[in-house]
A and B are shown apart, each in its own frame.
Chain A
Amino acid sequence: MSHWITRNVRRLAWMSAATLTVLIAGPAAAQGQELKPADIEFRTSYGEMRFPEKYPDGTSISITQWSHFVPKYDEWFAEYAQEWGKAHNVKVTVNHINLSDLPASLAASISAGDGPTLVEMNAAPSAFIEGLQPLDDVNAAAEATFGKIAETCRHSSYLPTKEMWYGYCHGWVPDPGVYRTDLWQQAGYPNGPETYDDLLDGGAKIFQKTGLPVAVGLSPELDSEFYARALIWSFGGSIQDEDGNVVFDSPETLAAVRYQKKLFDSAMTPQVFAWNPASNNQTYIAGQASYIQNSISFFRSAQDIGSQIANDTGFRPGLKGPGGEARMPSHVWFIYVMPAYVKDQNKITAAKNFLLDLSTNYSSASYYSKFYNFPAFPKQVPQLFQDGGWLDKDPWGSEPADKLAIFKTAEDWTVWLGYPGYANPAIGEVYQTHVLTTMMADVARGTKTPEQAVRDADKQIRAIFAKWRKRGFVGGSD
């Protein structure tokens, strides 16, 4: 009897414990299933590259990089850099500057022959190549360790005409279409626009009914430049071919420009002509736009301030052009370069070690950027892409939680400045001097016909390509 009692008391105790475990630890267990970044790990070996565990006393590296659009990333990076420095006996200094000041800052450092050990650029800095150290060894070691690099990163950090990796691209950012779910549903597009024709038709309906325009920029700034390229690529046009020949003045480009004129006349306002990179975000968050093209940083800002707009936002991969092609550019890249003036061997080795370790720990980089940063080496962040992973179930509070799921295919529809060729200095100058946005704006304003605007832009592009080709930076012959 006592045995029976003891056995049943024990059973009861086990059952109670099990019930308590389910009740108390159940949610925690479920929370435990929430994917977290991998533990921070520092390695001493990547491919054929070997690094010391500790560097000699006095070793230091300084990093200048752009202030991230998601502030949490900068907070994480500051801590990570210090942790890395402490582990390796290296003093690490991180200096943040505005993204638009990067070229001037790097130019000044190269000219002075002194400055930071690493500079993180937001777009392919191929024009600086003569003032930079080759990072072929780092890129080879990374591919040997992490697998194939994303094409958008390869084309933005390697220059085939010089056969040189001038940068180390650790990440990139998708640039989706962004639409107001409520407005587009009412316009008869419950999933938002899927093609540029949808954008024209639905955008015009919404504009006529509500006065809220399609807010794609036609201004000399980053977002507008990317929109112009996405449109032209999706219509089948491009600035150059794979070899670096200029192929801009084509029926496809002309069709894209004509389309833009129609879109402006039907669904846009002149506000888009003098926007800065923040303008379309502000307009959208203020509820004054039906569609924009932008990365998710604005969405995170809207979430942070508790805006209803965040819930009413849907994302689209690239809109399809007449041929069914959809191409979007990366919004920005994270490309570290090491200027040639860095001569100290300990600094150089430590900096390369830092770069490779950053890719090792990229699940943290991606996570703390709230998935703004996509990894150059996708295998390093399986949590992001796997079924039920971060993009399927956003731990940063998207409603619904799978709002970002379309980004799982982002690499398929994302290309780069210079597509289908490489991002060379001529492509950089066309981008920085706003040839395409000026062309689009001239047509939208009616100061040029589409034919004339494309012809004029082609002339400018050819002059720019000829100049850089003469210096051996651009391939092709036309």
Chain B
Amino acid sequence: MNSSTIAPVEHAREEGLLARLGRALDRPQVLVWLMLGPAVLYIIAFVGFPFILAIALSLSDATIGDPSLDRYVGLANFAAVMRQDAFWIALRNSLLITAASIGLLLVLATAASELLVYSFRGKRLFQVLFILPWAMPVSLAAIAWLWLLDSQFSPVDWVLVQLGLLGPGSPLGPFSHLYYLGRPWLGIASLVVADVWRMLPLATIIVLAARLSIPEERFQQARIDGAGFFRILFRITIPALRPMLIVAILFTSLLIIGEMGMVEILTRGAPGHATQVLPYWAYLKGIQSGSLGQGAAIALFLFPFLLVAAVLALRAAYRSPEA
């Protein structure tokens, strides 16, 4: 085969439209934008634009009937929001509920991932049931918890009464109901439990992925060296899981702190504003009451906290020796 017979074939491949397109797309500076483009567009459209709009709204006197941004009021909305008692309670509760939920999630997700590593009878059924809370719409989950914690028909109360723990002369008080959602700290605890119940599958899946990536030999070696369960857990498993635990913390905390469905359905911020959280307070002020500017200002208060949390979490994840 000589070059004169090969040349026309190569020439045809080089000159074809698809070939030229392929070569163009293969260029790194094009390929990088092709790969990143959809994500960048998504972020601009659904994160960047709403974020800038929220800033603009918070600096304006926009109302629900006239959402135009032509009345600049500076930081007046932020000042007005900070004079509201409900705002400070909501800020405290948002941070408290998120922190408490994350703490519980870390423990439970680690324990669940340890359990799911092993084979046992009915494991598949268990996995399906375990994932259900995450697959369930928030509103449906909240309604289920609403009935569980109902002031009249709570089955939890019924069990406590049957056990003699609740009712006249019992350790938990004279009433036959605990009124979980009508008491401040029980209300907050109820929100934490409901959030943990819903987020546990997601956190566990993230942690389990990391747990399965730890070479089994390390555990075998530790066992041969005489290490017990807890020593292995704290000296091998948790350090190895650390980067993914941080990812789990980041994901779940962002989802919990921005969530208002549970509060809206379970307590509506009551009693008083004792279980109020920032997203729901922003909704009440901005949408239900018509003060879009103040609503946006309340919502933006979350941003610095979320930003700092995200940066710290990502830095910790990248610095991790296991990452």
Which residues in B have their C-beta under 8 angstroms from that of A433? Answer: 86, 284-285, 288-289
Q: Known A127-B65, A130-B65, A463-B80; judge A270-B179 contact (CB<8 A).
A: yes
User: Which residues 202-224 of A have a CB within 8 angstroms of B?
Assistant: 218-221
The verdict on A428 contacting B272 (CB below 8 Å), with A131-B65, A271-B152, A274-B181 known, is: no
Q: Is the CB of B84 closer than 8 A to any CB of chain A?
A: yes
A273 near B270 with CB under 8 A, answer: yes
Beta-carbon contact of A445 and B290 below 8 Å: no
Interface size on B, residues (CB 8 A): 40
Q: What is the chain A residue whose CB lies nearest that of B265? A: A276
Question: Is there a chain A Cβ closer than 8 Å to B195's Cβ?
Answer: no
Residues of B within 8 A of A471 (CB): 61, 63
Chain A min CB distance to B158 (Å): 14
Contact residues in B for A442 (Cβ distance below 8 Å): 272
CB of A429 within 8 A of chain B?
A: yes
B271 contacts A274, C-beta separation under 8 Å: yes
A272 at the interface (CB under 8 A from B): yes
Q: Is the CB of A127 within 8 A of B270?
A: no
Interface residues of chain A: helix, strand, loop or mixed (majority) = helix
Contact A131 B179 (CB under 8 A): no
Docked complex: A116-134 residues within 8 A CB-CB of B: 127-132
B182 touches A271 (CB 8 A): yes
Contact B151–A271 (Cβ < 8 Å)? yes
What is the chain B residue whose CB lies nearest that of A129?
Answer: B65
Which of B265, B269, B287, B289 has most A Cβ within 10 Å?
B289
B interface footprint on A436-475 (CB within 8 Å = 1, 0 otherwise): 0110011001010000000010001001000100010000
Kindly identify which residue among A103, A129, A273, A425 contacts B287, using a CB–CB cutoff of 8 Å. Answer: A103
Chain A nearest CB from B225 CB (Å) reads: 54
> CB distance B179 to A467 under 8 Å?
no
* A111 contacts across to B, CB distance below 8 A: 67
Closest to A279 in B: B151
Given contacts A274-B187, A463-B83, contact A441 B271 (CB under 8 A): yes
B residues in contact with A456, CB < 8 Å = 85
Taking a contact as CB atoms under 8 Å apart, the answer to whether B64 and A273 are in contact is: no
Complexed CA–CA distance, A441 and B177 (Å): 19
Q: Is B66 an interface residue (CB 8 A)?
A: yes
Chain B 66-93 near chain A by CB (<8 Å), digits 1 or 0 = 1100000000000010011110000000
Tell which of A272, A288, A429, A434 touches B290, judged by Cβ atoms closer than 8 Å. A429
Tell me, in angstroms, the Cα distance from A279 to B111 when the chains sit together.
38
B187: nearest chain-A partner, CB-CB: A274
Whether the pair B152, A270 counts as a contact (CB closer than 8 A) is: no
Q: Does A127 contact B290, Cβ atoms closer than 8 Å?
A: yes
Cα-based distance from A433 to B291 in the complex (angstroms): 11
> Do the beta carbons of B83 and A103 come within 8 Å of each other?
no
Measured between alpha carbons, how far is A283 from B86 in the docked complex, in Å?
A: 29
Q: Give min CB distance, B166 to chain A, whole Å.
A: 14
Residues of A within 8 A of B272 (CB): 273, 438, 441-442, 445, 447
Query: In whole Å, how far is B304's beta carbon from the nearest beta carbon of chain A?
Result: 24
- B198 contacts A by Cβ under 8 Å: no
CB of B211 closer than 8 Å to a CB of A: no
Please determine whether A104 and B183 come into contact, CB atoms closer than 8 angstroms: no
With A110-B65, A441-B271: A271-B290 Cβ-Cβ less than 8 Å: no
A-side interface residues toward B, CB under 8 Å? Answer: 103-104, 106-107, 110-111, 127-132, 218-221, 269-276, 279, 282-283, 286, 288, 425, 428-429, 432-434, 437-438, 441-442, 445, 447, 456, 460, 463, 467, 471
User: CB within 8 Å of A: which residues of B?
Assistant: 61, 63-67, 80, 83-86, 146, 151-153, 175, 177, 179, 181-184, 187, 265-273, 275, 284-285, 287-291
Closest 4 CB pairs of A and B: A127-B290, A271-B151, A273-B271, A274-B181
Q: What are 27 A-B contacts defined by CB distance under 8 Å?
A: A103-B64, A103-B288, A111-B67, A128-B65, A130-B63, A130-B66, A131-B65, A131-B66, A132-B65, A219-B268, A219-B271, A221-B268, A269-B151, A270-B183, A271-B177, A271-B182, A273-B183, A273-B272, A274-B151, A274-B182, A274-B275, A282-B152, A282-B153, A428-B289, A433-B86, A434-B268, A434-B284
